[in-house]
Chain A
Amino acid sequence: MDFNLSEEQALIRDSIERFVAENYEFDKRNATVAMEHGFSSAHWQQFAELGWLSIPFAEEHGGFGGGHVDTMVIMHEFGKGLVAEPYLPTVILFGGLLQAGGSQALQADLLPQLIGGQLQGAFAYLERQSRYALSDISTRAVKEGNDWVLNGEKTVVLNAGAAQKIIVAARASGEQTDEAGITLFMVDAGDSGIDATYYRMTDGQEAANLRLTDVKAEAVIGAAGEGFGLMQQVIGDAILAVAANALGAMEALNAQTLEYCKTREQFGVAIGSFQALQHRMVDMFQACENQRSLLFRAVCAADAQSDDAQRSLHALKVMTGKAGRHIGGEAIQLHGGMGMTDELSVGFYVKRLMIINTLFGDMDYHQQKFIDLVNRPPAEAGASARPEAA
């Protein structure tokens, strides 16, 4: 049992910390988010040069061969600084799917471009009616000769504006909510059959709804009809990543709130001297530590592929939503009127936390999944309650 970072991980952490200190001060961040697509391509090139884009990928394609802890370190630091660059859609989701299900030829072609910073990607999996159900997919894929042709609409596709390639989840067979029959396709973002409606998310990142009309797929990712398992696997990794990002944001909010309460004076004293506020800040601290503990638990369980991995993942996503909303709400309240303004970064952090709650299923969705998992009869559950690993 060991909760320390390796020397290499500590170096990555320190270099991101320096990057954030130099580039993500409040006004600089606002300027970056106001750029086309909501981020700085110069920053992205810097990420490539510093090797951050290579972390989760295999060494044979120029990657670093990192695990869940390495990704956690990166996303955690990005969360503290509220970094706007699209690491989640391009590296974790698009890159993750490519690595998990792309053909050798496709990986050899695209991964070096991604790692080098030339290729942006996106993953289109949501639809208007789907809410959080990953298998609710009505976009159709029909085989015409040797080609797959896609028709339908995908919603809230993060980074679709900057992406050159997009992986689309579509239905090759089965009923609208069946898990079987879902297939993942690589399409070119410049295809004339894609009609995109762009908008911003509350934290400034860009997203789009994509209407696909007779779009020809360039490749199938994974086996036809078996895309659901692949989605689940990569979205599991993405949940760990966004939870680490949320932890960074919560730490930043707690630190700012604490600092504010130590310096803001009312009734002739610092408001942090009031017990009513002190106890609320202890609750915020505790919420943050709970989320950190579940993050460590879920990351270690994922790395060890333990029986506890799925349960820990759902628990983590529930706590991320709960703690995020609690800390976010309290941070605004304790900042008083200033918490309501765009003159402080408080509101921006809160918005990031609220987006993270809705990514890949919110706290209620994951608690129901957790309930379904743990309430199975013991014989069916299989996994022993006895610890095989901590």
Chain B
Amino acid sequence: MHTRFSEEDIAFRDEVRAFLKKAWLDNTELQAKVGALSTMREGMIEWQKALNAQGWIAPNWPVEHGGTGWSVTQSFIWDSERALAGAPSVMPFGLIMVAPVIIAYGNDAQKAKFLPRILASEDWWCQGYSEPGAGSDLASLKTKAELDGDDYVINGSKIWTTYAQYADWIFCLVRTDNSGRKQEGITFLLIDMKSPGVTVRPIETIDGFHHLNEVFFDNVRVPVENRIGEEGKGWTYAKSLLVHERLSIAEVADSKRGLAEVRELARQEVNGGQPLLNDPLFAKRLTDTEIELMALEYTELRALAAIAEGKEPGPESSLLKLQGTEVQQAVQELRMDAAGYYSQTLQGDLGPDQLGHAFADYAQKQYFRGRASSIYGGSNEVQKNITAKYVLGL
């Protein structure tokens, strides 16, 4: 048992740092693009293309499809250094969520068609799982797909669809059969968002942004060749995907950076002539979170090491999702509290000099946006149910 870096690891870390400096830290134009909502899509595509040119866009893929073949230590180094540099992760829908399913269950034509375009960020993907009547109880979904010649005809709607307004493709769970258990009769389809009959309705959220949508399907024709695997097996495929999704949701490296930022902010904020950081109650809460994050970091490394030995990431990934999102929310709360009463102001177009505070608006928006993390990817209560059933055997 050890966690030492080898000489190769240290050489790799230096290579990562050099890349991040050139592609991100020195590229302030790109940082500005990614940071502003109006240019986020363009900025993210540019960033992902830079990662692809470096060959580092898909660490979680098998090497033959464009993965990096990194060791657990190398993945850890990449993610830690990326987060420390403040560089974004990738948009997960194509690279992390649908690609593993296409690789595992898709046919050769589908792999050839979709995987290179995902690597090159030529398609923007979104996820069509939840429905107005199917949230935590995902398997009760009703969006209907009926076979008509060589096409499925889709009718229904999907909700909470992140960045559907930008998407070229959506991967969907649809119902092809109502006769058996609700988990049966679900089929996994890839749908072109430009198909006639697809409409997107924006949903404004409590953080003041537009990232969520409702997607409607009105007699949308989808060729059978866009079906992944067998009809009626979609639930099985999706479940294996959810494990990957939950691992990626933990966002440990980003929480580490967020916590370090909060510590610096609390050093600068003054409370009764003293840095907020010296307030014993604030320091207690900050370090409660830090200690939990230190544990989580190793829980994740243990899971990754198990995967590297050829074991599948199991139901334990539920715990990573659960605790990862709890820590994210704790960091967001601390950041908001550090901003004091300014955290409840709306900055709008005012500059920090006019408002009187530099990070309050961001802190407040992050707090509200972050409430979603314990709801999406299977609510945290559902994760506890899963852990109770599959890990504890209850």
Interface positions of A (Cβ within 8 A of B): 1-5, 69, 258, 261-262, 272-273, 275, 278-279, 281-282, 285-286, 289-291, 293-294, 296-297, 299-301, 303-304, 311-312, 315, 318-319, 367, 370-371, 374-375, 377, 385-390
Q: Are B2 and A304 in contact (CB under 8 A)?
A: yes
CA distance A5 to B1 in the complex (A): 6
Taking the closest CB of chain B, its distance from the CB of A382, in whole angstroms, is 16
B31 near A: Cβ within 8 Å?
no
Interchain CA distance A115-B323 in the complex, whole Å: 44
Query: What is the minimal beta-carbon distance from B136 to any residue of chain A, in angstroms?
Result: 13
Q: Is the CB of A375 within 8 A of B294?
A: no
Whether B77 and A285, one on each chain, are in contact in the complex, defined by CB atoms closer than 8 angstroms, is no
* A367 proximity list for chain B (CB < 8 A): 284, 287-288, 291
B 124-143 to A, binary, CB cutoff 8 A, 1 in contact else 0: 00000000000000000000
Is B80 interfacial (CB 8 A cutoff)? yes
Asked whether, in the complex, the Cβ of B260 is within 8 Å of the Cβ of A385, the reply is yes
Please state if B291 and A315 are interface contacts (CB–CB under 8 Å). Answer: yes
A1-B76, A387-B80, A390-B301 known; A296 vs B1 contact (CB < 8 Å): yes
* B13, B302, B384: residue with the most chain A Cβ atoms closer than 10 Å: B384
A385 to B81, CA, bound (A): 10
Confirm or deny: B90 has a beta carbon within 8 angstroms of a beta carbon on chain A.
no
Min Cβ gap A15→B in Å is 19
A282-B384, A296-B298 as given contacts; A3 in contact with B394, CB under 8 Å: no
B87 near A: Cβ within 8 Å?
A: no
Q: Is the interface of A mostly helix, strand, loop or mixed?
A: helix
From B1, B13, B292, give the contact of A2 (CB < 8 A).
Answer: B1
Given contacts A1-B3, A304-B2, contact A282 B387 (CB under 8 A): yes
Residues facing A in B127-167 (CB within 8 A) are: none
Q: Are A299 and B296 in contact (CB under 8 A)?
A: no
> Please, which residues of chain B bring their CB within 8 A of the CB of A318?
291
Contact A315 B294 (CB under 8 A): yes
Give Cα A349–Cα B103 distance, bound, in whole angstroms. 48
Q: A4-B1, A282-B384, A318-B291 are in contact. Are A297 and B260 (CB under 8 A)?
A: no
B277 is an interface residue with CB less than 8 A from chain A: yes
CA distance A31 to B276 in the complex (A): 55
B368-387 toward A: CB 8 Å interface, digit per residue (1/0)? Answer: 00000000000001001101
In the assembled complex, how far is the CB of residue B309 from the closest CB belonging to chain A, in whole angstroms? 8
Secondary structure at the B interface, as helix, strand, loop or mixed, is helix
Q: Is B45 interfacial (CB-CB < 8 Å)?
A: no
The answer to whether the Cβ of B40 comes within 8 Å of any Cβ in the partner chain is no
B123 within 8 A of partner (CB) = no
B1-14 Cβ-contact flags toward A at 8 Å (1 or 0): 11111000000010
Residue in B5, B284, B295, B302 whose Cβ sees the most chain A Cβ within 10 Å: B295
Residues of chain B within 8 A (CB-CB) of A290 are 292, 295-296, 299, 323
The 10 closest A-B pairs by CB, nearest first: A293-B298, A278-B388, A290-B295, A390-B3, A300-B3, A293-B295, A315-B291, A293-B299, A1-B73, A282-B384
| A289 engages B3 (CB within 8 Å) | no
B10's nearest neighbour on chain A, judged by CB, is A388
A334 to chain B, nearest CB (A): 12
Contact between chains at B287 and A289 (CB < 8 Å): no
Q: Would you list 25 pairs from A and B whose C-beta atoms are within 8 A, ordered by A residue?
A: A1-B73, A2-B305, A3-B1, A258-B394, A273-B394, A278-B385, A278-B392, A278-B394, A279-B381, A281-B388, A282-B384, A290-B295, A293-B299, A294-B295, A296-B302, A300-B4, A304-B2, A319-B295, A367-B287, A370-B287, A370-B290, A377-B267, A386-B84, A387-B5, A389-B4
B391 to chain A: closest residue by CB: A285
Bound-state Cα–Cα, A315 to B292, Å: 9
Other than the known A282-B384, A389-B4, what 14 A-B pairs have Cβ atoms closer than 8 Å? A1-B2, A2-B2, A275-B388, A278-B385, A293-B298, A293-B299, A296-B298, A296-B302, A300-B2, A300-B3, A304-B3, A315-B295, A319-B291, A389-B5
B1, B73, B287, B302 pick with most chain A CB within 10 angstroms: B1
Specify the chain A residue showing the minimal Cβ separation from B264. Answer: A378
Smallest CB separation, A262 vs chain B (Å): 7
Does B345 lie at the interface of the complex (its beta carbon under 8 Å from any beta carbon of A)? no
Contact (Cβ within 8 A) A285 B295? no
Distance to closest chain A CB from B385 (angstroms): 7
| A147 CB to nearest B CB, Å | 46
Establish whether residues A374 and B287, one from each chain, have CB atoms under 8 Å apart when the complex forms. Answer: yes
CB < 8 Å: which of B3, B77, B384, B394 contacts A262? B394
**Which among B4, B13, B302, B381 is the interface contact of A3 at CB below 8 angstroms?**
B302
B319 pairs with A286, CB closer than 8 A: yes
Q: Chain B residues near A377 (CB, 8 Å)?
A: 267
* Contact residues in B for A258 (Cβ distance below 8 Å): 392-394
Q: How far is the CB of B130 from chain A (nearest CB, A)?
A: 22
B322 at interface, CB cutoff 8 A: yes
Contacting pair B394 A261 (CB below 8 A): yes
- A376 CB to nearest B CB, Å: 10
**Is B205 close to A, CB under 8 A?**
no
Query: Closest approach, in angstroms, between the C-beta of B293 and any C-beta of chain A?
Result: 10
- How distant is the Cα of A390 from the Cα of B88 in the complex, in angstroms? 21
Q: Which residues of A contact B72 (CB under 8 A)?
A: 1
Nearest Cβ on chain A to B12's Cβ, whole angstroms: 12
